[in-house]
Structure 1
Amino acid sequence: MSTHTAPSSTYRLQMRPAGGLRDAAETAPYLHRLGVGALYTAPLLAAPGSTHGYDWTDPRRVCPDLGGEEARAALAARLRALGLGLVVDIVPNHMSVAVPEANAWWWEVLRDGPGAAHARCFDIDWRRGPLELPVLPDDGDGGAAALGRLELRDGALELDGRRYPVAPGTAPEGDRSDPARVHGAQHYRLVSWRRSREAMSYRRFFDVSDLAALRVEDPWVFERVHREVLRWAEEGEVTGLRVDHPDGLADPGGYLRRLRGRFDGWIAVEKILAPGEDPPQTWPVEGTTGYDALREVCGVFIDPAGEAPLTRLAEELGAPGEPGPVEEECKRRAAMEVLAAETRRIAEVVDRVGRRDGEGGSDGEDGRGDADGRGAPDRRDAPDGPSPATVRAVAELLAAFPAYRTYLPEGEGRWAQAVRRARKRAGEPTGEGAGEGAWGGTPDAAAEVDRIDAAVRADPGGEAAVRIQQTSGMVMAKGVEDTAFYRATRFIALNEVGGDPSEFGVSVDAFHAAQARREASHPRAMTTLSTHDTKRSEDVRARLAVIAEVPDAFADLVREGTGRCGLSEPSLNLLAWQTLVGAWPISAARLRDHLLKAAREAKLATSWTDPDPAFEEEVRAWPERVMSDGRIACSVEGFVARIRAHGWSNALGQKLVQLLMPGVPDVYQGTELWDMSLVDPDNRRPVDFTAREVVLERLESGRRPPVDASGEAKMHVVRQALRLRRRRDLRGYLPLRAEGGAAGHAVAFARGPGGAVAAVATRLPVGLEAEGGWGDTVLPLPSGPGRWRDLLSGREVETPGGCRSAAPRLGDLLAQYPVALLERRE
């Protein structure tokens, strides 16, 4: 566990083109007044025109669209003057190669091949021969028509506006040379985009061929990738780093130890943890970016009694009832289809290791370069394809991991679990549609799993082990987050990054146990409720949580709506009605875009690579059909009106809990007011900070706003909690347990020396209302007499100590707000 100074809280800002850094500097005083401890930015080394920053191209300079180095330095100075820290998002796993000319390193590699100075930066298998770039449009001709448009212009090959370099001496007649002949003489080949589903000679970020993976395990590469960010840190302008996707690295632990050796600030890693999983103890970081906390916080506001009726509704409509089998099948398909190129590459490595061991020799290389990383050991012909049994075994192993990645040798237990699952599945016939010709099961596949297991255990740092571990997280993400979560839609409030839809809610006891573990092991890890990657904002999920308390009423709404204007694909239909309720009121355009993305991600009736125009037209038309149907629109509005206030209660409760629980809380841009955003790009829309400053000014004047549609009550909670964190020591965690008939509707805990701060939240508000409210339920506060003040309502609470009758009644404590933030008066 690291003990480096952590910010009291962070506030995530997306860096938008056209001056994002200058906008951030203008917003900084507002954030300081709100109570924020540090500004947390999207990547600053973004490619020009980037809307998110993860497609960076030049490690030497800040993106000019964001304002460049001058604007970055000005922001750093502004933050320092305000006493705010700066947490920067860094991307060590990959670079953008979408526009070769924009990436000097990639351009050089395309031009000079394995002998290029920067060839060692990229994870390229030069054994395959020329580097294949899957960029050609393909209408079934393998890209031949596109290649016919290739031109040689100004010393470079040009196709549809993109330029590619020409190696010296390969265009003897200059621009008069035959483009096809010149293309055939390069260190690369332009191939059909469909080729990326078959075989790839460079590792990508997931299945995104425009993002080429880096080899930061090489110290030479590490220095060049991090030089600029580390310079900012050395000058005292960066206090924390958020590390994107460490699971994609060859050696995450080694990378983080090297980073820690160069950076003495706060480090959080974007790492998805399975339930019960902790980051490896050898990682010298504060913890993760908080999806595990999101799962715990949101889960404690969900009624598990809703599981059975919502499962029945899903099955009645023809959608899956249980998410587990869907996830398993989607992971297998991700390994066998979406990431087939990565699976085949691992199988080739395994077969090569087997041949080498059988021959008693060694080629001495892993396909990632020679001794100093500058090129390939030779230019042998591309290897023969791997055996079908090996491919099947690798795919089953990748799909069998119970977590995103095992970190061998530390993660031996999870590795063994995956091997057992894969061995069983590899002996079964391949399911329909899984590509029988290439992927069909063979009697040898189970034995191949054992052979892979033996090879990995014998050399946990070898290429086979490394590539399997790098790819298992990709399979989990593409199979579960990007597919199963859009297919198993019985209750989409659970279908969140890092979530587990099979676990329907989190008990209060389980929540307290999780926070005690966090305080003991990673008390400075980040916590979050919304990010740029969440599929629904925290406030949408808070309203959806109410559905679990009124499942029968929701089922009636869905049945009526489906009968009048349902979508033909059942999983999407169920998702659509939940989305309509969760984000209502929502424009038809926003809903249309969200449903189209959901349909393509599900890959059931349409997909990104094989769209069905007729079905997509049905999806496009659905929002207008629903909203123009007066009866349906009235039913939706009436249902939302019934649950809206309960959704606000959940939203305030989960926000207060997240802000006060162990960890460093992050507030995603704009969510200090109600935010009903959906998956990106919807959640990256511009934020109206002028309107938020107006609300903040009213709160600073002493206003205690009602809980209503304005969202001012949420900012009131956020402001008071953040300002408290900034001025108080909140070490320690003490569960507080209500007593009385409604005790199960409260979640509360104390923080700080002697439990001097207490957070109290209402859960399952529909049931609480049905039971007649809090009645005689009380909340015993930390022992000993004292005087407390609720920073939200201003109410003073006396606790003489000793007997239950002296404990404050929850009905009094939560009379104005469904939450309370108590501070013991000195």
Structure 2
Amino acid sequence: MTNHVSTKTPRSTYRLQLHKDFTFDDAARIADYLRELGVSHVYCSPYLQAAPGSTHGYDVVDHRKVNEELGGKPAHERFCQRLAQLKLGQVLDIVPNHMSLGEQNQYWWDVLENGASSRYASFFDIDWQPQEERLRDKVLVPVLADQYGRVLEQGGIKVVRSGSRFQVEAAGQSLPVSPTSLPTFLTRATDYAKSDTLSFLSASFGRLPAAEGADHRTALARHRDKNVLYDLLKRLCAEEPAVCECIDRALAEMNKNVMALDDFLNQQNFRLAYWKAADQQLGYRRFFDVNTLVGLRMEREHVFEETHALILDWLKQGILDGVRIDHPDGLRDPLEYFQRLRKHAPDAWIIGEKILEPDEFLRDSWPIEGTSGYDFLNVALNLLVKPDGLAALTQVYATFTGQPTVFPPIAHDKKIAVAQEALGSDVNRLTSLFVQICETNINQRDYTRAEIRRAIRELAACFTIYRTYVVPSRQEITTEDVKYLEEARDCAKAHRQDIDGGLFDFLADVIALRSTGRLEAEFVLRFQQFTSPVMAKGVEDTAFYCFNRLSAMSEVGGDPGSDGTTVDAFHAYQGRMQQTRPATMTTLSTHDTKRSDDVRARLAVLSEIPAEFEAAIQSWSGLNDEFRTGPMPDLNTEYFFYQTLIGAWPLPVDRAKAYMLKAMREAKLQTSWVANNKDFEDAMNRFIEGSLAHPPFLAELETFVNRILHAGRVNSLAQTLVKYTAPGVPDLYQGSELWDLSLVDPDNRRPVDYDLRCRLLAEMKNMSAAQVLERMDEGLPKLWTIHHVLCLRRQHPERFGADAAYVPVAVTGSKADHAVAYLRGDAVLTVVPRWSVALGGAWEDTRLTIPAGEWKNALTGARIAGGPMRVEELLHQFPVALLVREG
């Protein structure tokens, strides 16, 4: 279903990150500014009830209510009313793939209390029958700071009473006690209290019915009976306090008896464990490798309906015009999910956070408007980098660091590593499933568990995309799926010639539906959910911090080994988007980008001056040698650090240290999140502190940054104008309407100075383009460009919609490669430069032909007649041009 365009498609969006320090009321206060800026829709981070203290909202604990830390329902209503008064629409980011754990998540609390008999056991993607018998019918809870036995012996686990309820306390967390385990100490308490009522309650708790599988009726009966028993126990304690004293006595005795306490804990529906056990033994699907985010079974209609009721109601009422779907690749069947959502919200603007790899496009069958814009971001960046300069930077990188300069092998190795370690429990579940499949096939039954495990890891690591979309129940597999699968199979065979190639063939046969059955179908669906986190954690969160030739290119969905793109390829991409997804989102910065658009724009200039960059870092390394601690930091880290300073300068010491710590732990080369290398981290911090307090180095750094500063800003203006005029709905990340040199989160979630932005926008109304350029350092040219094009989109939305064709405009002359020009329909012409340092301001004979008619440059006010025109003349008043046909 290509070319789907909602009747509620925004003209533009402005992303806001809501949290306890920026609430609904704070957002309402800046709504006037956003309206004045020109955006049509406020695009909010998730704001259903999240875990306490959440700074992002993706850790939802209750889909039935608005986040209290943001002001709750009353503040939400005030916010929505203010948007309605200003005729601003609203788009909301929602999270269907997972929920956060914890006592606030009553679904999960019920599962921990009642296990597979819980009313909500069907909500979560839990393996109740794993290979390890000791984990069957239990949820692993890996929260302990040490081995279970040691923590138990040291008194780190105890059972406590809270009224008539009981909880296990460990590692600062509370977990619900299984009601059927209560007779363990209630029987002893009965002996002390001589209470027939307590005896009856104890026996009744032990006789609660067990529900299995889809036995929802028994689960409801169990829940009813359990609550009645707890109410009776509460009444008994109120009427006979001595009974409660006997219960507490029995509890205290059990807590002091390690063996008795262990026996009681073994009766629970969860198993407490050392936190390191999670990587290999966790029995539930997570969001990537985050143990506290448990996967939802969103393919089940009752789960969809309960978790989406509030959102669908807002869409129906018109409070929301659209939604952004977080991580659809985590879902078992993304197409089915989007179809169900579209059925409930036929007019909504729906975009999915689908990460597309180079040369991959959104599936035609998905009934949504498009992606959240990472594909556009990378296309825009590739237009700005210079291919021959990238080739030169490859050698610079190799010479300085001694590191490998071919990216795919690095990505492959990091995917293998993450599959072995952080995602080991996922591999184990897939392995157990495939062992069963092999057992039922006489030609495959002799494959061992160990080689199946290795083969699954290898095949997943060989996928060049996030996942395929094969659906066994519908016999659905596309030629695209087959292509990626066969490429991965052949790659796996080449990498692991020690494994029988027939095993890889059989894996491919199962995934391609050439070998079918109930177990095979389950394996296909689970394997596809697995390749996504392998790509995300292995490449984006690891390899992207290891391969540092030009760090700006290490962006979500990007290829840091790319050599850039041609103008023709850029036009071809935009033309395709106009034909297939004209209402997709286009963006340059998000809450998840590794670097802001302005940082990337400045770093792109390095591809124009590789020799100067090489000379600079060689000099800086010598100047800062005295701050090194032996071999630390290594040269790859140092190279990465210098690029970070160039891109984000001026960068205070505290931000530099925080960012470098996160980056190096993500790289997992010298240190990591699970195994901190204190010596390396201390050495790196000393190096950062020393170098950023070293006048000779700072003088050279500032001279270098000043050399490329203007070119970086021109790059920023070029990609910004393209974002607002290319096919799609442009999104602006909070605060980035001015120069924003933020790095990866949490750096990019720092408070935004909206008072400053309001003042500058007001001042700008009475300024000329020349006056705006004089205040370049304040970011006015970026604000100026955004405001003018947003106003144009508001006045003439039809010039940017699904019917406004994208038409490349030829640029001729000796410097033609330095300019990009295109028309939207026949009324808007965009012209932007690239490679401005290499250009040196000498456009020479470079020109383009403006279509016949009278035109006005919306950014300068200049009036221009159609016909041939020199690019230098077009851009001499302002770095980019936005021509609008008059009349």
What TM-score, normalized by structure 2, do the two folds share? Answer: 0.85
AA paired with 2:565? V
> What is the distance in 2 between the residues matched to 1:145 and 1:789?
77
Partners of 2:623 and 2:696 within 8 A in 1: no
1:336 and 2:420 equivalent? yes
1:323: how far off?
Answer: 1.5
What aligned pairs does 1:71-110 form with structure 2 within 5 A after superposition? 71-97=75-101, 100-110=102-112
Deviations 1:281-307 (A, max 9, x none): 111000101111001111111111112
Partners of 2:407 and 2:560 within 8 A in 1: yes
1:765 and 2:765 equivalent? no
Judged with a 3 Å threshold, the aligned counterparts in structure 2 of structure 1 residues 31 and 617 are, in CA distance, closer, same or farther, namely: same
AA paired with 1:576? F
Give the structure 2 partner of residue 533 of structure 1: 592
1:610 and 2:683 equivalent? no
Determine which of 820, 824, 827 is the counterpart of 1:747: 820
Worse-superposed segment, 87-96 or 701-710: 701-710
Judged with a 3 Å threshold, the aligned counterparts in structure 2 of structure 1 residues 604 and 19 are, in CA distance, closer, same or farther, namely: closer
What aligned pairs does 1:30-179 form with structure 2 within 5 A after superposition? 30-45=33-48, 46-97=50-101, 100-128=102-130, 129-139=136-146, 144=151, 148-154=155-161, 155-171=166-182, 172-173=185-186, 174-175=247-248, 176-177=250-251, 178=254, 179=261
Give the structure 2 partner of residue 451 of structure 1: 506
> What is the distance in 1 between the residues matched to 2:576 and 2:348?
23
1:480: how far off?
Answer: 0.6
What aligned pairs does 1:579-594 form with structure 2 within 5 A after superposition? 579-594=644-659
Partners of 1:136 and 1:147 within 8 A in 2: no
1:792 and 2:859 equivalent? yes
Deviations 1:743-798 (A, max 9, x none): 2111111113xx201111110001111xx52233222123x2x1111111111111
Give the structure 2 partner of residue 820 of structure 1: 881
Judged with a 3 Å threshold, the aligned counterparts in structure 2 of structure 1 residues 192 and 146 are, in CA distance, closer, same or farther, namely: farther
> What is the distance in 2 between the residues matched to 1:410 and 1:569?
47
> What is the distance in 1 between the residues matched to 2:149 and 2:621?
42
> Looking at CA atoms only, which structure, 1 or 2, has the larger radius of gyration?
2
Determine which of 213, 220, 224 is the counterpart of 2:295: 213
Give the structure 2 partner of residue 709 of structure 1: 777
1:626 and 2:626 equivalent? no
Judged with a 3 Å threshold, the aligned counterparts in structure 2 of structure 1 residues 420 and 767 are, in CA distance, closer, same or farther, namely: closer
State the superposition RMSD in angstroms. 2.1
> What is the distance in 2 between the residues matched to 1:638 and 1:725?
39
1:545 and 2:604 equivalent? yes
Judged with a 3 Å threshold, the aligned counterparts in structure 2 of structure 1 residues 443 and 812 are, in CA distance, closer, same or farther, namely: closer
Residue 12 of structure 1 aligns to a residue whose secondary structure is strand
Give the structure 2 partner of residue 808 of structure 1: 869
For structure 2, the residue ranges without an aligned partner over 5 or more in a row are: 131-135, 187-246, 255-260, 471-475, 626-631
For structure 1, the residue ranges without an aligned partner over 5 or more in a row are: 361-383, 430-440, 800-805
> What is the distance in 1 between the residues matched to 2:676 and 2:153?
21
1:49: how far off?
Answer: 1.3
> What is the distance in 2 between the residues matched to 1:34 and 1:17?
25
Give the structure 1 partner of residue 402 of structure 2: 318
1:273 and 2:361 equivalent? no
1:550: how far off?
Answer: 0.7
> What is the distance in 1 between the residues matched to 2:583 and 2:516?
34
1:349 and 2:440 equivalent? no
Determine which of 290, 294, 297 is the counterpart of 2:380: 297
Deviations 1:5-24 (A, max 9, x none): 21001110000214511111
1:426: how far off?
Answer: 4.8
1:359: how far off?
Answer: 13
- Equivalent pairs, count: 778
Residue 59 of structure 1 aligns to a residue whose secondary structure is strand
Deviations 1:407-442 (A, max 9, x none): 12444444444445445535756xxxxxxxxxxx85
1:568: how far off?
Answer: 2.8
Partners of 1:94 and 1:213 within 8 A in 2: yes
Worse-superposed segment, 76-85 or 34-43: 76-85
Deviations 1:93-144 (A, max 9, x none): 00001xx211100000000000101110000000031434343344577764
Determine which of 640, 649, 671 is the counterpart of 1:575: 640
Partners of 2:146 and 2:275 within 8 A in 1: no
Residue 305 of structure 1 aligns to a residue whose secondary structure is helix
Give the structure 2 partner of residue 647 of structure 1: 712
Partners of 1:592 and 1:622 within 8 A in 2: no
Judged with a 3 Å threshold, the aligned counterparts in structure 2 of structure 1 residues 19 and 778 are, in CA distance, closer, same or farther, namely: closer
Give the structure 2 partner of residue 370 of structure 1: none
Judged with a 3 Å threshold, the aligned counterparts in structure 2 of structure 1 residues 80 and 311 are, in CA distance, closer, same or farther, namely: same
Deviations 1:629-661 (A, max 9, x none): 211111100000111011111010110011110
Determine which of 728, 731, 735 is the counterpart of 1:670: 735
> What is the distance in 2 between the residues matched to 1:820 and 1:143?
69
Residue 797 of structure 1 aligns to a residue whose secondary structure is strand
> What is the distance in 1 between the residues matched to 2:284 and 2:759?
51
Give the structure 1 partner of residue 213 of structure 2: none
Worse-superposed segment, 153-162 or 527-536: 153-162
Give the structure 2 partner of residue 487 of structure 1: 546
Partners of 2:116 and 2:137 within 8 A in 1: no
Give the structure 1 partner of residue 744 of structure 2: 679
1:610: how far off?
Answer: 0.9
> What is the distance in 2 between the residues matched to 1:759 and 1:241?
29
1:308: how far off?
Answer: 2.3
Partners of 2:124 and 2:295 within 8 A in 1: yes
Deviations 1:45-97 (A, max 9, x none): 12231100100100110110011111112222211221211100000000001
Judged with a 3 Å threshold, the aligned counterparts in structure 2 of structure 1 residues 760 and 143 are, in CA distance, closer, same or farther, namely: farther
Residue 781 of structure 1 aligns to a residue whose secondary structure is strand
Partners of 2:406 and 2:561 within 8 A in 1: yes
> What is the distance in 1 between the residues matched to 2:180 and 2:844?
87
Partners of 2:468 and 2:484 within 8 A in 1: no
1:308 and 2:308 equivalent? no
> What is the distance in 1 between the residues matched to 2:621 and 2:141?
41
> What is the distance in 1 between the residues matched to 2:637 and 2:504?
36
Give the structure 2 partner of residue 16 of structure 1: 19
Partners of 2:356 and 2:465 within 8 A in 1: yes
Residue 645 of structure 1 aligns to a residue whose secondary structure is helix
> What is the distance in 1 between the residues matched to 2:155 and 2:292?
22
> What is the distance in 1 between the residues matched to 2:787 and 2:52?
35
Worse-superposed segment, 712-721 or 416-425: 416-425
> What is the distance in 1 between the residues matched to 2:705 and 2:672?
31
Judged with a 3 Å threshold, the aligned counterparts in structure 2 of structure 1 residues 72 and 557 are, in CA distance, closer, same or farther, namely: same
Percentage identity across paired residues of the two chains = 40
1:227: how far off?
Answer: 0.8
Determine which of 796, 800, 808 is the counterpart of 1:735: 808
> What is the distance in 2 between the residues matched to 1:789 and 1:403?
44
1:354: how far off?
Answer: 2.6
> What is the distance in 1 between the residues matched to 2:546 and 2:270?
38
AA paired with 2:750? R
> What is the distance in 2 between the residues matched to 1:142 and 1:323?
44
AA paired with 1:570? L
> What is the distance in 2 between the residues matched to 1:345 and 1:464?
10
Q: Per residue, is there more helix in 1 or in 2? A: 2
Give the structure 1 partner of residue 236 of structure 2: none
1:808: how far off?
Answer: 2.4
AA paired with 1:242? R
> What is the distance in 2 between the residues matched to 1:136 and 1:808?
68
> What is the distance in 1 between the residues matched to 2:359 and 2:545?
24
1:29: how far off?
Answer: 1.1
Residue 722 of structure 1 aligns to a residue whose secondary structure is helix
AA paired with 1:41? C
Judged with a 3 Å threshold, the aligned counterparts in structure 2 of structure 1 residues 185 and 302 are, in CA distance, closer, same or farther, namely: same
Give the structure 1 partner of residue 229 of structure 2: none
Deviations 1:601-640 (A, max 9, x none): 1111111111111001012222211112211111100000
What TM-score, normalized by structure 1, do the two folds share? Answer: 0.91
Deviation above 6 Å: which 4+ runs of structure 1? 140-143
